């Protein structure tokens, strides 16, 4: 059995217009734009909404954070008692998200078994982090989840299903639609349908077969048969790590909630979905001597005109190509980031992670600054790289714009 399975999923008894106010974007988006969240509050008003069940990270450092968390727990209990939800037993939810660019991203909401997930470096678990997990980001999230009666997922996990055998066949089935509505603030459109009974069994069988294929590939490649990677984190890495920590605490305490806490609601998406694109995240280094940085970078990484790993260095209004002769990771970003981490540790300076080439070029015009334009990671590189190198360097890739990130919709009971 693979780590992904069916769950008892809660959905609100609301009309399409009401669902627009119910569903809000993931809490880790627009963290430096509180005006987005103020506008969201204006749209929601006093209507039932997931906005009342989450803590946007834009407010994570506010002095009233503790009272906000207590209010979230009260709202969850109130919603449960008010008979707001329908419960869909032992099922998946097939999602169809029409993005702002009109491309459709198909996913499957269900439960991940946290016993099969390990986010630590060197993990060989079936579910793995794709980027390094920052331990300091987990405790504030534990405070929210630990005593919460509900979970609402913004976690997206990827499967490497190049032949479209798991999720895509469901599009040909006649399924019961359970929601169909417009998302707020340029979020696009969201549809959902119940996948249960034989259709759910078909998904589980397809996942088992995907695992068998992975074993065959490992055998043919001479790789160790242990430690199959079937599920790679896309978005929400720290949220899943938080769920894992809460489960481990409850398990150690023999809590009656431990079995419920063992699972986390997530959305699984095929890595090969045409709607899913990886975008590069560039770097800008400030408060450094550019000549010294370039000299030491050349010494550490070597330089070659024929190198496969290449990036662009920008100082002022001058750009130059740099080919890495002595790579230290499977990806260009990994080799560069390893050098930058060491350099900044020894010499000081600051690093910013930037979306968009134009902004990098503007920032590189500043005194004592260096910009780095990195190539976008190919989707096909994700699974092989995580298997070979482990978790990728932080900020390796981005999956789409903020308004295309997952919106909260489904919920699940996680406390008795």
The strand pair at 156-159 and 263-270 is best described as parallel
The ranges assigned to domains in the chain are 4-277+400-413, 282-373
pLDDT in tens, 203-228: 999 999 998 887 666 544 444 555 67
The strand pair at 231-235 and 127-128 is best described as parallel
Using CA atoms, how far residue 252 sits from 119, 259, 401, in Å, is 19, 12, 39
The DSSP secondary structure of 218-250, one letter per residue, reads HHHHT--SSS---EEEEE-HHHHHHHHHHHHHH
Contact 43, 51 (CB under 8 A): no
Contact 115, 264 (CB under 8 A): no
Backbone angles phi, psi at 400, to 5 degrees: 85, 175
Q: Which of 23, 333, 387, 379 is nearest to 182 (CA)?
A: 23
Given this model, what pLDDT does residue 292 score? 97
Structure tokens at 22: 């119910």
Using CA atoms, how far residue 142 sits from 88, 152, 239, 242, 403, in Å, is 27, 14, 9, 6, 26
Helix (H) or strand (E) holding 195: strand 189-195
List helix spans (H) across 60-196: 65-81, 138-145
Residue 35, classified by CB atoms within 10 Å of its CB into exposed (0-12), middle (13-18) or buried (19+), is: exposed
Given this model, what pLDDT does residue 356 score? 80
What is the model's pTM?
Answer: 0.85
pLDDT in tens, 77-120: 999 999 999 999 999 999 999 998 899 999 999 999 999 999 88
pLDDT in tens, 297-351: 999 999 999 999 999 999 999 999 999 999 988 889 989 999 999 999 999 999 9
List helix spans (H) across 65-124: 65-81
Contact 368, 289 (CB under 8 A): yes
Using CA atoms, how far residue 298 sits from 160, 323, 335, in Å, is 36, 10, 12
Three-point CA angle 175, 176, 182, nearest 5°: 110
Given this model, what pLDDT does residue 130 score? 87
């Amino acid at each position: 059995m693979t780590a992904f399975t069916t769950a008892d999923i809660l959905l609100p008894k609301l009309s399409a217009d009401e669902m627009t106010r119910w569903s809000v974007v993931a809490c880790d988006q627009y963290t430096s734009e509180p005006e987005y969240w103020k506008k969201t509050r204006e749209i929601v008003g006093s209507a039932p909404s997931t906005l009342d069940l989450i803590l946007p990270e834009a407010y994570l450092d506010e002095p009233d954070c503790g009272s906000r968390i207590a209010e979230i727990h009260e709202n969850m209990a109130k919603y449960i008692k008010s008979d707001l939800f329908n419960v869909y037993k032992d099922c998946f939810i097939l999602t169809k998200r029409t993005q702002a660019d009109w491309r459709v991203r198909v996913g499957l909401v269900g439960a991940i078994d946290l016993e099969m997930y390990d986010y630590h470096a060197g993990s060989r678990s079936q579910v793995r982090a794709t980027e390094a997990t920052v331990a300091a980001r987990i405790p504030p999230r534990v405070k929210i989840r630990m005593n919460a009666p509900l979970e609402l997922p913004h976690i997206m996990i990827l499967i490497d299903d190049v032949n479209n055998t798991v999720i895509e066949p469901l599009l040909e089935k006649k399924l019961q639609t359970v929601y169909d509505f417009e998302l707020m603030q340029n979020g696009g459109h969201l549809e959902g349908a119940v996948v249960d009974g034989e259709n759910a069994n078909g998904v589980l069988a397809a996942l088992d077969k995907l695992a068998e294929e992975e074993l065959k590939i490992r055998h043919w490649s001479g790789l160790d048969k242990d430690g199959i990677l079937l599920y790679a984190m896309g978005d929400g890495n720290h949220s899943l790590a938080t769920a894992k920590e809460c489960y481990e605490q409850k398990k150690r305490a023999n809590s009656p909630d431990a079995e419920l806490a063992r699972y986390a609601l997530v959305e699984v998406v095929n890595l090969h979905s045409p709607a899913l694109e990886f975008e590069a995240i560039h770097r800008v280094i400030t408060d450094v001597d550019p000549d010294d940085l370039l000299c030491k970078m050349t010494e550490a990484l070597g330089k070659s005109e024929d190198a496969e790993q290449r990036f662009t260095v920008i100082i002022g209004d001058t750009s130059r190509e740099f080919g890495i002769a002595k790579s230290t990771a499977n990806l260009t970003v990994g080799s560069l980031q390893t050098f930058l981490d060491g350099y900044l540790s020894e010499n000081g300076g600051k690093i910013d992670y930037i979306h968009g080439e134009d902004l990098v070029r503007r920032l590189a015009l500043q005194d004592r600054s260096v910009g780095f334009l990195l190539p976008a990671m190919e989707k096909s590189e994700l699974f092989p790289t995580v298997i070979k190198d482990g978790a990728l360097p932080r900020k390796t890739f981005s999956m789409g714009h903020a308004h295309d990130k997952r919106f909260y919709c489904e919920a699940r009971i996680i406390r008795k």
